[in-house]
Structure 1
Amino acid sequence: MNAFQPVHGIIFDKDGTLFDFTTTWEAWARAFLLRLADGEEARAGILGKAIGFAFETSTFHKTSLVIAGTAAEIGAALAPHVPDLTSDKLLKIINEEAAHAPQTEAVPLAPFLDDLRARGLKLGVATNDAEAPARAHLDAAGVVAHFDVIAGYDSGHGGKPAPGQLLAFCAATGLSPDNVIMVGDSLHDLRAGRAAGMRTLAVLTGMADTKDLAPHADAVLPDIGHIPAWLDQQA
């Protein structure tokens, strides 16, 4: 792939990229697990282990399914522990709690995205969250209109690390993959970008560290706020 192809579009992961992962999803996990456990903390702790979350300390294991998995995958992991709930009901609860999860912007998003739009870039979001809560999060941040495409795992293009969402972004915007950058905080994000034929940027606002991400990224940045300077260096 030619590293000097001009950049005409950027597609972002959401959680751990546009929004800080731990602030959002640790709060979600506690509220969600307590709801499933009818307020019983001991049972919430047992349920948390099924998804790689230590309820007692409110921390995720580095390999937690929540970090890069879809809501359907989280539901499948929990289903044996909540046999009284249908898969549809469980998924509904996951998405309801996700829509209400507090969001901490990795950087002030509106001015950051305004700058990218002023550069003439097309922008997208590809998340393994469902599309409805993803739109709710972006709308609450006042930036949903900044994006040309917002794709969740349930939007009809599959989820990451498969490249379907990213290729759908290219189809919708008319861009070639080699003119698009995929930005994310997990290996799922970076592998999806590579599979789509895109360059990839990793950020450290998720759970993975530089050692994990660097072999799969063109660059590893502290956060998305460093992207404009990186773009200027490519010119």
Structure 2
Amino acid sequence: MTEVRAVLFDKDGTLFDFGGTWNAFATRLLKRLGRGDAVLTARAAEVIGFDLRLGRYRPDSPAIAGTNREVALLLASVLPQKVGALVAAIDAEAEAAPLVEAVPLVPFLEGLRARGLKLGVMTNDSEAVAYTHLAAVGVKDHFDFIAGADSGFGAKPAPDPLLAFADAMGLAPAEVVMVGDSRHDLIAAERAGMRRVAVLTGMADRAALGRYAETVLPDIGHLPAWLDGES
């Protein structure tokens, strides 16, 4: 089997625990957009699959793997704000989201770099928010490539942004493993011809991810052991 020479990570639900980071974000965003109107807030929560009573996303939420624009389009169907204003509001709240690392990222990434691996991030969040989040936890410079859905390569589940990473690193797709927490991540990797590793720090469970991934790990901290088994 082809040697793994690079790892491309999803961001939310992979590098960062999804529930710990994004449930608080959504609660604040919905209150901001609802402007004190309980009916509007409830409608907005419904279209993005967020349970206001429990304060968390439902597993089938279209917002989990969607781009910020896709989420804004859903919200625009029930709110008076225009799509552009909604995207701006989502980005602003996302930049202030409480970041819960799936594992301590600095030592984890330093360990991967010590193996000689190229590292990248491809998220369906915006590029600016990705840079903000990675810089906030001190790991922006650990990555050779960082892209969002608005970086010009497209968004997952299309393979194009993943192939852009392989091309930028001068590698064949088969030399790259994509690590993600959603079907979007894994389907994109399959279409790109990359290896596929799923983690359970997002909203999807093992049964949902197992049919798309080579392996399903509890979190990214188990990746080095998996890489050792593949070498």
TM-score under structure 2 length normalisation: 0.98
CA contact (8 A) 2:48 2:75 kept: yes
Distance across 1 between alignment mates of 2:39 and 2:104: 38
Structure 1 unpaired stretches of 5+: none
Match of 2:122 in 1: 126
Once the two structures are superposed, the pairs formed by residues 197-212 of structure 1 within 5 Å of their partners are 197-212=193-208
Q: Does 1:234 align with 2:230?
A: yes
Instruction: Compute the displacement of 1:165 (Å).
Output: 1.1
- The correspondence for 1:109, drawn from 105, 113, 125, is 105
Q: Does 1:24 align with 2:21?
A: yes
- The correspondence for 1:70, drawn from 67, 70, 75, is 67
Distance across 1 between alignment mates of 2:117 and 2:71: 34
Q: 3-state DSSP class of the match of 1:205?
A: coil
Structure 2 unpaired stretches of 5+: none
CA contact (8 A) 1:45 1:56 kept: no
Distance across 2 between alignment mates of 1:44 and 1:87: 16
Once the two structures are superposed, the pairs formed by residues 127-206 of structure 1 within 5 Å of their partners are 127-206=123-202
Deviations 1:91-136 (CA, angstroms, capped at 9, x unpaired): 1001111111111000000000000000000000010001111111
- The correspondence for 1:9, drawn from 6, 9, 20, is 6
- The correspondence for 2:220, drawn from 217, 221, 224, is 224
Distance across 2 between alignment mates of 1:131 and 1:25: 17
Give the aligned length: 231
Distance across 2 between alignment mates of 1:150 and 1:102: 20
Instruction: Compute the displacement of 1:61 (Å).
Output: 1.4
Match of 1:46 in 2: 43
Instruction: Compute the displacement of 1:42 (Å).
Output: 4.5
- Percent of aligned pairs with the same amino acid: 54
Instruction: Compute the displacement of 1:40 (Å).
Output: 3.8
TM-score under structure 1 length normalisation: 0.96
Distance across 2 between alignment mates of 1:8 and 1:25: 31
User: Could you list the runs of 4 or more consecutive aligned residues of structure 1 that deviate by over 6 angstroms after TM superposition?
Assistant: none
Q: 3-state DSSP class of the match of 1:81?
A: coil
Q: 3-state DSSP class of the match of 2:211?
A: helix
CA contact (8 A) 2:40 2:79 kept: no
Whichever residue aligns with residue 101 of structure 1, its letter is: A
Distance across 2 between alignment mates of 1:131 and 1:11: 15
Match of 2:92 in 1: 96
| RMSD of aligned residue pairs (Cα, Å) | 0.9
Deviations 1:137-190 (CA, angstroms, capped at 9, x unpaired): 100010000111111000001110001111110111101100000000000000
